[in-house]
Structures are given as structure tokens and as C-alpha cells.
Amino acid sequence: MKSKDFDLDFARRERYTYTKTSSSQGKVPGKSFGGSNTMSVALNTKHLSGFISEEEYAAIYPQVEAAHKQLEAKNGPGSDFLGWMYLPRDYDKEEFARIKAAAKKIREDSDVLVVAGIGGSYLGARAVVEAVKGQFHNELEGGPKIYFCGNSISPTYLNNILDLCKGKRFSINVISKSGTTTETSLAFRVLRELLEKEMGVEEANKRIYATTDRAKGTLKQLADAQGWPTFVVPDDVGGRYSVLSAVGLLPIAVAGIDIRAVSPSGGDGTRIIARDITAYLEAQKNAPAPAPAAAASAGLEDEITEIPWVGVKKTIARNMMNSLQTMAQNTCTLEVDCTDLLALREKYVADQEMLGCKITVNDLLCKMLGKVVAKHPLANATFDGKTLYTHKHVHLSVAVATEDGLMVPVVRNIDTLSLTEINAKIKDLAQRAKEKKLDGSEMTGGTFSITNVGMFPIDYGTPVINPPQTCICGFGRPKLKPAILPDGTVGARMMMNVFLTFDHQVIDGLECGRIFKDLEYYILHPEMILA
């Protein structure tokens, strides 16, 4: 059927192509959407043909065209909120890079990310994550668990979120343009309180990410004052479209979704449409799985056990890789006579009934490190790549072997503790580490680390620094070796290797030498450890 202005071909198809014509000149191209000469609208009319005539479709065209022109010219009502039209193309490239960097950090240092927001700030990212990763992605996949709150004032829901965060390394992404939205503000206040309690204020401030107004508002002021990383809620993008801005991109990236891989193809290449999401999902589904390792010998059937690298094991591995990639690590070794140190330990063993505990060599070494490290601020420090933070007291991270690998709980203020107090603290932390009963706060905040492999046949090693610390000190097994005695005769002495790995960005060879000098002094004169 032909009308005065349109040729509507729907007899052979269930999808329409509208082409503007002239009754006197025949069919000619006219103005169109997006700058092309033909305006195409995909419309399935299978269930509409009995209710809407072709004339009605034709009659509405002028309104559609006018609306399109207003959108393109941005001169109609609501024109201040049209940033969504070209957001996938005209975005802040610098902020996009910061979003990816922040997501990488969260995936490396957090077991949980809690997103606090309301409306589109709550539903947008959640919808994308669940569409791509599945509704039960938190239970089925490794990586940080992502929970959403701040969309209501339900105390039950919020308490459940808190229970999921307790004892875990978690971060917060609070999303509010003003910072005064009641539901989000209440949720954030409670979450921040828990984070500071578990991690300490200093560490908590490194784990809060604010998505808010570019320049004003309560949340922006608070974030600037506390030093939280901030991302922008665009002024010209409404809630339902803000998922394509920092509002949605940060949690989506934390979920492990490549935010650059979903390329826009709709219209003029600026809009993400359904087929873009479908294409991304198909690419993920069809990605080739890694081939199993070949059998060691041809003709022999290999038996392969698959061990998922998740949880604590994955976190430890990720932290170690991050440490090696971000620090200029160097290791130096010192061989020192530990005969008198071992003799002192035997004296304490003989007096254990009086002391009420069995003092170990490791207790003496920890006590010694408390004294030595307190004298060297650069060693008793944390470094984030930009700022160096020195600490008044030594918070010693002590490596503990568990079935999940090495755990590193922290003995706080070890420089102020007696030998028996150190013994009790380490015993308690080690036992609870093996039972998986440590709080998240007991695993963070260390300023220096010790690793003692003296119980194994290991003479020396190159331990990896536990970031953001700047040093780790290791001790090998004591061995009986020939030595020249003070009187010039040859005898046998117990010798031990001490090895120090330090971040050469912070500590140079001279400072390393000074640390070794103090370590050697205390090992040769162990009675001074208690002075």
C-alpha cells in the first residue's frame, strides 16, 4: 500500500523500512536519523497488524523525526541530560584508565567489594554483572565477591552484608552525587565503621572509592579530606544510563568483565545495543579452554588432578606477583655465628617452668627485630608508590604455615613487648591462623615481616616483600661449621644465614649495611636483645 509520503512494505516482511517520498517526483531520499540518507526503524508488527493501520504508522513519522532532530540538536526539554547519547564514544579517557587501575587493585587486595548506591547507581551495575557473570556468580566464581546495598534502609539486609564482610579484606564503592541520599548515606556510614574497625583508619582510607559530583557536594568534600579516590557522576547522564559511566564501570570491572571489550555498534557506533552484549557473551563462552598438560611419557596414561586456585591461595599468589611487579626488590645475605644465641635459648628452655612458657629461637629473633627495625625508619615503613609512611612502633608480620599456604598475622607494637608476651602472642595467632579464625584486622597493618625457615634444610633464600612494606628478613637453619675462634685456634661453631629483601626504591645499599650491622651485633651478643 502506498500513502502520500511513505512506501510501507510490510506484505513480504514483518520488519519495516520507512523511506520518505514525494507524490510528484516519486520515491526520493529524505532527511534521516544519524546523518544517513535513509532512516530505518526495526519494528515487529506481528501482533499489532490487527490494531494499528499503516496510515497510523505514517501519521506518527513527523513526531518521530521531530524528536530525533531535537535529540541531535540538544534543544528540546531535558537537553541538559543527553550525555548518554554518545557516552560510549565521548568519555573521559583518563578517568577510564583510573577506573581500570582501581578495579585491578580491588581485585588484588580485596575478597569483597560492597557497592553502596540507590536507583541506577544500585541496579545498573548489578544488572550488567548478573547478565554477564550469572546471578550466582559470587558462589560460582573466584575473585572478589560483589554485594550491593544502599537501596533501602532494611536493617536485616544491611546486617547480612556486614556478616559477609567480617573477617575478610573488603573495599567500599559509595555512589552518590550529593552524598546526602538517606539510604546510601546510612549504609555507607555503617560499612565505613566496620572497615575502620577491622582494617584500621589508615588502611580503610585506601579501600574506599567515592563516585560522586565532579566538584561539589558532601561526599566530594569528605572524599577529598580523607584522600579517597574519586570518580565522576556525569552531570548530563541520568540514572538509568549512568551504568556506562564510572557509576557502573568500576563495579563491572571489579567483577572481572573487560569494560573495553563490549564495543558499541548501534547507530553511528556510539551506542551499545543488545547484540554487543550478546557478542561479548559468545566470545567468552567460545574462548578456548587451556589444554591439559601432555603425559610425561608417551604411551603412559597420565592422571591429572584439578585443584581450583581460589580463596586464600589465589589471594596469596596474586599479592606475591603484585609485589614482584611493583617493587625494586634486592636481597643481601649475612652469615653470622649464632652459637651464643642458641645457648641463650637453651637456658630459657631449662627455665620454662618458671617462665610458664617454652621460649623459642623464633621468639628471640622477633624480639631482636623489634629492637633493630625501630632504629631504622625506612625499614619500618609502608610505601604505596607515591608516598612513604614511617611508623613509630614495629608491627611485625610473622609467617605461619597453614594448609592454605603461608598466612602472615601481625604482632602489633612488638618493640614494646616482653619475650614472654611475644611468645604468647605468636602462639595465639598461629593457632587461630591454622583454625581459620583470624579477623581481617589481624592480617593487615604490618610494617615489617619475618620468615624463619630454620626448621627446614634451607640455608638461605630470597623472600618476597609483603606489600606495602619495604622489607622482609629471613633466617636459615643453624649449621655446625669450622671457624677460627677468638684465641686463633680452629674450632666448630653454629653458623646461620640472615637474608634481607628490601625495596631499593626506598632503601639503598648503605642503609641495608647498617641494618645488617645491628642484626649481627644482637646475634653475637644475644643478652643485649633483652636489654
State pLDDT tens for residues 293-334.
Answer: 444 445 556 677 777 776 667 777 778 888 888 899 999 999
Q: Over the range 117-134, which residues count as b (16 or more CB within 10 Å of their CB) and which as e? A: bbbbbbbbbbebbeebbe
> What is the average per-residue pLDDT within 69-74?
78
Which class for 500: exposed (0-12), middle (13-18), buried (19 or more C-beta within 10 A)?
buried
Cell (9 digits) for 341: 644465641
Q: Are 372 and 519 in contact (CB under 8 A)?
A: yes
The per-residue pLDDT for 20 is 38
Residue with cell 502520500: 4
Is pLDDT above 80 for 282? no
pLDDT of residue 264: 55
DSSP H helices, 74-216, are 93-109, 120-133, 137-140, 155-165, 182-199, 201-205
d(CA 162, CA 158): 6
Q: What is the pLDDT of residue 234?
A: 83
Region 461-472: mean pLDDT is 94
On the 0-12 / 13-18 / 19+ scale of CB atoms within 10 A, 108 is: middle
**CATH 3.10.20.30 fits domain 311-530:** no
Task: Give the SS3 label for residue 171.
Answer: strand
pLDDT of 23 over the 60 cut: no
Q: Is 125 helix (H, G, I), strand (E, B) or coil?
A: helix
- The string over 168-200, giving b where at least 16 C-beta atoms fall within 10 Å of a residue's C-beta and e elsewhere, is ebbbbbbbbbebebebbbbbbebbbebbbebbe
Query: Which 8-state DSSP code applies to residue 380?
Result: S
381: its cell numbers: 615503613
Indicate the Cα dihedral angle 198, 436, 170, 199, nearest 10°: 20
CATH 3.40.50.10490 domain position(s) in the chain? 85-283
C-alpha cell at 379: 625499614
- What CATH class has 85-283? alpha beta
271 pLDDT higher than 60: no
Dihedral, 502, 504, 505, 507 alpha carbons, nearest 10: 70
- What whole-number distance in Å separates Cα of residue 253 and Cα of residue 488? 67
**Residue 526 CB-half CA count within 13 A:** 21
The answer on pLDDT for 267 being more than 60 is: no
| pLDDT for residue 222 | 94
247's enclosing H/E stretch is helix 246-254
- For residue 375, pLDDT over 90 is answered with yes
Collect all residues with Cβ–Cβ distance below 8 Å to 128 and sequence separation of at least 6. 243, 248, 252, 257
For range 103-125, the mean pLDDT: 91
pLDDT at position 484 is: 84
For 117-163, the pLDDT digits (tens) are 998 888 888 998 998 888 888 888 888 999 999 998 999 999 999 99
For residue 33 the three cell numbers come to 536519523
429, 396 contact by CB (below 8 A): no
**Residue 215 vs residue 241, higher pLDDT:** 215
Q: Where in the chain is the domain with CATH 3.30.559.10?
A: 311-530
**Residue 332's pLDDT is what?**
96
State what percent of residues in the chain have pLDDT above 70: 80
Q: Do 142 and 309 contact (CB within 8 A), yes or no? A: yes
Q: Which residues pair with 210 in a beta bridge?
A: 174, 230
pLDDT tens digits along 383-400: 988 899 999 999 999 988
Q: What is the mean pLDDT of residues 34-38?
A: 40
Confidence bin at 170 (pLDDT 50/70/90): very high
Phi, psi dihedrals of residue 122, rounded to the nearest 5°: -100, -50
> Region 509-516: what's the mean pLDDT?
96
- In this structure, is the dihedral angle defined by the CA atoms of residues 438, 440, 446 and 449, taken in order, positive or negative? positive
> pLDDT-based confidence at 54, cuts 50/70/90?
confident
Note the pLDDT tens digit of each residue in 177-198: 888 999 999 999 999 999 999 8
Q: C-alpha angle 8/9/10, rounded to 5°?
A: 105
Q: What is the pLDDT of residue 42?
A: 63
Model pLDDT, residue 40: 45
User: Higher model confidence: residue 381 or residue 40?
Assistant: 381
Give the residue-averaged pLDDT of 330-351: 94
CB neighbours of 2 closer than 8 A, spacing ≥ 6?
8
Retrieve residue 456's grid coordinates: 627446614
For the segment 239-253, the average pLDDT, to the nearest whole number, is 84
In this structure, the dihedral spanned by the alpha carbons of residues 482, 485, 489 and 490, taken in order and rounded to 10 degrees, is 0
Q: Residue 60 pLDDT more than 90?
A: no
Which of 34-43, 77-86, 267-276 reaches the highest mean pLDDT?
77-86
